[in-house]
Amino acid sequence: MATRRIFLELSKHGPPASVISVRSSQLADKPITGSSVLLQFLASAINPSDYNQVEGKYPVPMDLPGIGGNEGSARVIEVGENVTSLKVGDTVIPSVAGFGTWTTHKVVDERAVKKLPSGLSVAASAMFAVNPCTAYRMLRDFKTLKPGDWVIQNGATSGVGRAVIQMCKAEGVNTVNIIRDRDNSDQVKDELKSIGADAVFTVSERQELETFCKTNTPQLALNMVGGRETISLLKCLGHGSNLVTYGAMSNSPMSVPFGLMVFKDITLNNYWMSRWTREYAGTPAEGEMFEQIGDWFKSGVLTPTPHEERSFFDYEDAFKSAFKRKQLFVGERTLNDPRVDELD
């Protein structure tokens, strides 16, 4: 029997509401053979990189029309006779960016996916590849941190920010966190402290932040925002420290004053998870990372980013809400949505 898939199709680049639509099609009615595997997606996320891809600004191109989405998890439901690395029931994630995860089903070669540790929740598996792995690598690849050290970051309420807080807490490393000003800043501060943040300041509390860092001096800064907010991180860093930039949410050029960088001997680094994955896929380093993050999720040390679960049919609302709260397209919600019957 042919498998019907539901997916979000990107017809051209532009604003999500005007270029994305819900589609359906039948996968070829033939046995899964060779090294192919049939996947049923458990859930797939919306990340900032997905906005860039939809708008045509992401460095990983996609063929149009095509299926969007770079992160998500799927269950293997059928394997070809030559498949050796996977079995029915395994949970997998894409091996590279540009996979097209906004779909309920997909047939791929076994090399296009990689197996996750067993026992993860749907949310943990669907949000495994980008934010936790980014946090993990930045905390290990640029500075050797030991218990009692301090890390400073902006964008602390993001998926990466929350993962940084929880991972540092697990390893005895302290975090000082910067959040944007908002009406409920005190509530957000308390929530971040409840998951392990040691100190939280708003963007406008620059003087208080600098005073705090004089006696609690970070050696590593993680920069998601960019723009002039970079200066706050640089002012707080100690001599011989590192600033790692992994995002540019301000959409402004990064400000790096000469004196702060040179006289403090600060090293500027950058990080892109997709590049690391291309270079280290299938290596022991990736395997160790997956095992550790999986253990943290299963023990409760690491928790999925607070999120809202959606059907593909609610994609317009999902994109409108994605910068306020993490959005997760859940496969079963889509497959059980009564609006499926309205599709061709």
- Its sign, for the CA torsion 302, 303, 304, 306, is negative
Query: Burial of 132 by CB count in 10 Å (0-12 exposed, 13-18 middle, 19+ buried)?
Result: buried
Of 51, 58, 136, 271, the catalytic one is 58
> Do residues 2 and 29 lie in contact, with contact meaning Cβ atoms separated by under 8 Å?
yes
Structure tokens at 168: 């540092």
pTM score, two decimals? 0.92
| Per-residue pLDDT tens over the stretch 269-315 | 999 999 999 999 999 999 999 999 999 999 999 999 999 999 999 99
Angle CA 270–217–155, to nearest 5: 45
Contacting residues for 85 by C-beta, under 8 A, at least 6 apart: 110, 115
Question: Which pLDDT band holds residue 1 (cuts at 50, 70, 90)?
Answer: low
CA distance 138 to 269: 10
CA distance 65 to 267: 42
| Per-residue pLDDT tens over the stretch 155-200 | 999 999 999 999 999 999 999 999 999 999 999 999 999 999 999 9
| Catalytic (active site) residue 136 | no
Q: Give the pLDDT score at 156.
A: 97
Distances in Å between the alpha carbon of 285 and those of 140, 192, 246? 11, 29, 20
Among 279, 272, 173, 172, smallest CA distance to 220 is for: 173
